[in-house]
Every structure is written in structure tokens, then in C-alpha cells.
Chain A
Amino acid sequence: MSRISRVLVVIASGLVVLMFLFPLWEIGLIAPQYPEGLSMQIWLYKITGDLKTINILNHYIGMMPIEPEGLAELRLFPYIFGGLAILGPLVALINKRWVLHVATACVFATALLSLVDFYQWEYRYGHDLSEDAPMKFEESYDLPLIGTKQITSVMASSFPEEGGYAFMGVVFLYTASSLLNLKKKRR
């Protein structure tokens, strides 16, 4: 492993630590009665924001309540990302290319699985609607995975927050680190 690659993965671990301090993702809703907007922030281990109001509004369309206590991911993520936080120094210490590449693969897998998991929750919330919903405007409500979208009277947005950007940085740093080591091997 090159010196620079080792530095990069240690920096990546620093970014993982930052992910504990900032929200990963934000979902925003702007409705006629909420011009100031409602929002919820998804963290590694909690969901904050106007959750109570969002749940009250969602119950009209039969959406199940978002209950952070019931989400296994929020209990699991601190361990997974805790692992990622020690991964960098570990990889740098072991100082073996194949270890680095496995680590990069792990980081990619975590990123991909997180996105898939986020998507499946969005899908579930938007599609598993109660039969007893007082208001049945649509068959289903699909939040954008990323971006903004008008859903009936609500303008919904879904964007990464600081923690999410930090994770992108982690992915980038491991990718760069691995690529730098690939080149060396070919020579």
C-alpha cells in the first residue's frame, strides 16, 4: 500500500466519525398549510424533526406511522459504521493491498445496501397503505429517492445532509485509495 493510500483510508475513518455527529439525509415536505415546511432528519441512530406532525398528516392517507423505535437499522447502523470507523486505521496498519480492496468492497456494499434499504422503506411507506385511510387520493405515494417531487398537495424533497455527504467522501476516498494501488500493481 502506498503511503498516500494509507493516509486516505485514515481520513475516511475520520469522515465516518463525523457521520455520527450529523444527519445523513433529510426529507422535506411543503404543503399549503405548511408553507414554512416540515422536515425529518435521518441519522445513523435516530430520526429527528417534525416526526409527530408528519405522522399525524400521514395517517389521513393511511400511511403507517414512522416509529424510530421500531426500525432495526437505527440500532444496527451504529455498529456497522463503528466498524467502518476502525476499518481505516486497521487497513493502514495491516498495510496489505488485498485487505484494502476487501475494505473498499465492504464500503461499497454498505453504501449500496443503505440506499437499497432506504428505497425499500420509502416504497413500503408509500405502498402499504391502510384500507381504512380516510383519504384515498392515489393508489400509492412514491417519495423520490433523491430530488424533489410534487405528490398531491405536497412538495416532497429528499436530499443527503452532512452525514450523507461524509459517507460519499468515505466511498470516494476508499475508491481512490484502491485505484492508486491497482496502478502500482500493473507496473
Chain B
Amino acid sequence: MKKVPKKLSSLTYVMSLALALQSASGAAESRLASNAAQKVYVEPGKYDEFYAFLSGGFSGQVSVYGLPSGRLLRVVPVFSVNPENGWGYSEETKPMLETSHGFLPWDDAHHPWLSQTKGIADGRWLFINGNNTPRVARIDLSTFKTMEILEIPNSAGNHGSPFGTMNSEYLVASTRFSVPIPQKDTSIEAAKFSGSISFIKLDKNSGNMEIAFQLLVPGISYDLAHCGKGPSHGWCFFTSYNSEKGKTLLEINASKNDKDFIAAVNWQQAEKCVASGKSKDMKANFAHNVYDDSTHSATSTKLKSVKTLSLTDCPNMVYYIPVAKSPHGSDVDPTGQYFVAGGKLAAQVTAYSFDKMQKAIAAKKIIGDFEGVPILDYESVMAGEVKKICLGPLHTEFDDTGHAYTSCFVSSEVVKWKVGTWEVVDRIPAYYSIGHLLVPGGNTMKPWGKYLVALNKITKDRYLPTGLELAQAAQLIDLNSNKMELLLDFPTVGEPHYAQAIPAELVTKHQKKVYLLEENKHPYSVSSEDGTKVVRKGNDVHVYISTIRTHFSPDNIEGVSVGDTVYFHVTNLEQDWDIPHGFAVIGSNNAELLVMPGETQTYKWIPKEPGVVPFYCTDFCSALHQEMQGYIRVSAKGVKTPIKFGLGKTL
């Protein structure tokens, strides 16, 4: 008999186990609603009911879809440069991608989080993490624009982020890699690792982020969190993995212990400790980048210090609770009473009771200690177990009728279960390998439990093949009846790692349509064509240029030589919705600009050859868009052609 490769045999084992589980609890046949087309059809010209914000995973961006149609509405550039509109290329947006490591053109964006008021999504801001180089970004939902990016020091892999509290008081950011804090050159084997959990304070009115404090915690890998609400407000619950503290071959070495930990963090206790001077200022170096919609420019500030709080200086702040092995996150039900976590490598989801946890702490039901963190007795905190739920349970969201929906990666399905009885009531397959899932508001106190979206890692045979690189997918599932039914599946931008959705009117009600010209405080803006000019400052030439249907002013420019750096400060004088103008120069080592009505953006260009160089509008703005073009004369190096410029006349 041929030897079956080990990997294959274990895969077969997993699959047969999955089948066994499924047949035990009812077959997971494909369930497409018979009137699926009707349910997802949104008439041309009509709006979708929900906005869904899908993270782009390795694309670094956020994509915005309408539900139930699955129509892609927009891709919001966040952590990755976007030549499509000049994000990260224009002089004004470059500072947004500054970090302590310099300018970074990319990150891995995983978890969008919608701001909340009283535990309900309020449609003001969307936050999202940069996983690779730890950062958190804030997108303003009145403009769908990234307005702020904050780097997280003492973190290495900002995966467990940016989950927030019920009134958007704080966002959390936990480190996925433990590393030496502060960093130093040491052998990996001998390195002493620490973990950090950061609390980012949000300004109530502006949404501006500031690291309030960082907890220094034992050096294991921290993962996704959800913060308490209602009765559990004041706490956040993080899962962790690698309690084995493996440093190599984690696939094996981080999978040995039967149980990992949930870290239950009392942030109100931490606040008190910080207020009473228990924190220490640690030297750090991290960037805080803020975009200003009145100057239409970002500024990047390097911050040099962060408040840290050690466990010994602030006791009773962190407790560990045993959890089935290798969990991927904890989720809190809408009442705020239960927090749940599934063990990715176990076939079980555990629900913990917040009340029981409080009692266990009071009664000192402590079974041990992990590097100074008390470990609470599992049985004393556990409220119920959803047994044999599926293989690889990852994440859970909730509806408004007391049900929970857990994604199961290995058995590739969504399992619906009842909170309180912990019984599985339904299951539906996902195509394929679901990671996160969403129910609109499903992480808040007010879920709109109409739909569920499964966010899948693998599509294989679902769509027309496109070579080796295939799209990833989202699947819309109807929750309106007892049986979950598949309605739609659609390919996504990048990896739809996690997503959140919100009723459309909560966002549409404060949409901005134009930037008001009279509020434009950009130092190089013009308020009308009369203000346009060309100014030389040494070897820099500043062109104050305007756009309006359908011309540039000026559109003939002379007086630039090789050796100069030319800054085109393009002000779009339009004050009409959906009339952006674009800008590009032939042969420029730059991406185009898209300039919104009332906005000013700057295009840097270094001419290399003498000649008469064309530029044009790149956004189809009007019937005479094709005619929206101009020339700039470039003279040879050292030739001092006088500055002249104009529109509609001979220079």
C-alpha cells in the first residue's frame, strides 16, 4: 500500500470529522433561497438598505458595498497608496503614510469598527487596523476619507484591533507578536518577550485618537477583542494564543496546550491607576498623522513617549480565563452579559457569563497564575458550551432575536445557535473557508438581524477562473426565516477579512457633497481664476492653477527649466456635487490627482527634458473634458525664460 502523505491523511481526517459532525446535526446542503434574485434586486437608481464596509486585507484599503445588492460603491484608500486618486502621491496626502519607519506604501487592513453611541453604531467614523506596521486609521463617514492614522508603539503586528467601547471612549490594540519591549539585539532563543495592550482614547467630537495608556502583559500572542457593554461596560475581552510561548514552528509549538487564555481587562481600573500616577512614561517613537479638511493637507507628528502600566503597579486589572485552544477572538452578546470564544483547534464554543466572572473574582476562584496574571477557574466563569458546534469555530455575531452565528473555518460553514440554551439550531455551508462574518450591528447592543455576510478566503470554482490569482468572496445570507438561506455571493477587493454594516440612513444623513471654496484654507489655494499665478522661489516653481468646466487657469505656462521642481497646486473651483477634475503631466514620475470640488491638491513634477509639455484633466468631467488640456514650456537647464502664464490669450 502506498504511504499516504501525512498532511493529506490529516486533511482527510478533518474532512471526515466535519462530515460526521454535520450528519450528526443535520445535513449542510446548499441552501439557495428560491426567490433569492428578488431579495437582492435593488432597482436601478434605488439605494441599498445597508452600507457594508469590508476590509481589504492585504489590499490595505476599505471597500464599501451596498447590501443586499452586493454592489461595490467605492474603495476608500487607507494604508496603501492609491494612484487612482493620488492618495499617498499628492504632497498633501503623503504625510498620512508616514511612520517611525518613514513613508510606507502598504499595510494589511483587517478589522473595521464603526463608532458607537450607547452601544449602537452611530455612522460617524469607521476605524481600521494596520496589521503589519501597527497602526489604526479613522475614516470620516461624511466624506469616506481617511482623516487620521496613529502608529502604535511597543506593538508588533496590530491584529487585535481596533475594537472599541460602547460610547467610543476607547479603541484597543493588542500585539500579535510578543517582542522585546523595548526592542534590542538579542538571540531569538534568549529573548525575553513582552506583550502590550494599548487603549486609544477617542475625542468625543472630533474622533481624534490618542494613546491613553499601554498595559505591559505577559509575552504571548494577543488577538481579537471585544469590549463589554451594558453590564460589562468597563471591561474588554481579548483572546490569546501561544501560551506555550513558542518562537518557532508555531503551527505545532503554539498548538500543544489544551487551553489558551482570554485576557479580561478592566480598563476602568487601568484608568484609575493611570489617574493616580501608577503609569510610567516610556520612550517611544511613533507617528500621528492627521488630515485637515480646511487646509486639505495632512501633518505627521512624531511622538516620543507613551504611558505604560505594568501589572504589578496596577493589580486586579487583568485576569486570564481558560479557553478552548487557539481561539481567534472573543465576542460579546447584545445584552453585554455573555462573552463567547471558540477554539479554532477545538470543536467547541464557550459562552462566559460576566456576572459569574465578577462573582468568581470576588470569591477568589483562582486556579493559578501566569506570569503574575491570576487565572480564573473555567467552570466558575463558564455559562454554557456549544458542544460539537463545528470544526474551527472562529468568530460569532448576534441577531436581535437571541441567536448567535459562528463562522467555522475548517468545516466551512456558518452555525446558528441559541444564546442561553447553547443549542445549535441551523447551519449553512460557506464557499469556502469562512473567516469572519457580519450581521449588521451584530457586535453592538442593537443588531439589525436581517442579513448575514460570510467573508470567505477561498473561491476556487465559484466564479469564472482568472488564472492563478482568484478573487475572494462575500456571501449574503438571509436571516429572515428560521432557516438561513443563501442569497448572493460576490467577489471582493483584496481579502474581505472582516466587515461591518450599518443601515444606510445613519450614514447618508451627514454626507458632504462639496468642500466650500470660502472655507478652503490651503496656503496655495485660489478662490477664483483671478488668483491663479506662477511664482518662482529658487528652483521651486509654484503654479497656482484652477479647474472649472472646462479649462485650467492658466493653461499656457512658460518660465520653467530643467533643474526646477514644479508644484502644481490645483484648486477645483467647482461647487457642484460629483464634479471632480483630474490632473496629470506626461512622463511624470507620479500618479494623477483627483481634486474634489472646493479642494486643493498638489502635484509635484520634476521636468527632465526641454520641450512643450502637455497636461490634461484625467476625470471625465463634462462634454468638453477632452479639450481640458494645457501646455507648460520647459527650457534647458540654466536658460532663464521669463515666467509667463495665461488662459485664452497669447503669452
Q: Which residues in A have some Cβ–Cβ distance to B below 8 Å?
A: 50, 52-53, 56, 59-60, 134-135
Contacts and interface: CB of A to CB of B under 8 A. Distances in A.
A135 B575 contact: no
Contact of A52 (B575, B624, B627): B575
A66 to B, nearest CB: 15
B576 interface: yes
Contacts of A135: 623
A175 B549 CA distance: 49
Q: Which 10 A-B pairs have the closest CB atoms?
A: A53-B576, A56-B549, A52-B575, A134-B624, A56-B548, A60-B623, A60-B624, A135-B623, A53-B575, A56-B576
Contacts of B624: 60, 134
Contacts of B548: 56
Given A50-B576, A134-B627, A135-B623, 15 more contacts: A52-B575, A52-B576, A53-B575, A53-B576, A56-B548, A56-B549, A56-B574, A56-B576, A59-B549, A60-B549, A60-B622, A60-B623, A60-B624, A134-B623, A134-B624
Interface string B609-632: 000000000000011100100000
Nearest to B574: A56
Interface in B356-406: none
Interface in B540-582: 548-549, 574-576
12 contacts: A50-B576, A52-B576, A53-B576, A56-B548, A56-B549, A56-B576, A59-B549, A60-B549, A60-B622, A60-B624, A134-B623, A134-B624
Nearest to B622: A60
A50 B514 CA distance: 13
Interface residues of B, number: 9
A94 to B, nearest CB: 49
A185 B623 CA distance: 66
A53 B624 CA distance: 16
Contacts of A56: 548-549, 574, 576
Interface of B is mostly: loop
Contacts of B576: 50, 52-53, 56
Contacts of A59: 549
Contacts of B623: 60, 134-135
Q: Which of A53, A56, A59, A60 has the most CB of B within 10 A?
A: A56
A16 B576 CA distance: 34
A52 B548 CA distance: 11
Nearest to A35: B45
A50 B627 CA distance: 25
A60 B624 CA distance: 9
Contacts of B574: 56
Nearest to B578: A33
A56 B548 CA distance: 8
A134 B549 CA distance: 12
Contacts of B622: 60
Nearest to A56: B549
B479 to A, nearest CB: 34
A57 to B, nearest CB: 8
Contacts of A60: 549, 622-624
A53 B574 CA distance: 8
A101 B136 CA distance: 77
A50 B622 CA distance: 18
A62 to B, nearest CB: 13
A5 B469 CA distance: 87
Interface in B516-550: 548-549
Q: Which of B549, B575, B576, B627 has the most CB of A within 10 A?
A: B576
Contacts of A53: 575-576
A162 to B, nearest CB: 26
Nearest to B624: A134
B330 to A, nearest CB: 46
Contacts of B627: 134
A135 B550 CA distance: 13
Nearest to B576: A53
Interface in B570-598: 574-576
A60 B549 CA distance: 9
B157 to A, nearest CB: 47
Nearest to A132: B648
A173 B523 CA distance: 57
Contacts of A52: 575-576
Nearest to B549: A56
A63 to B, nearest CB: 14
Nearest to A53: B576
A87 B67 CA distance: 63
Nearest to A34: B576
A60 B548 CA distance: 12
Interface in B80-135: none
B167 to A, nearest CB: 36
B204 to A, nearest CB: 34
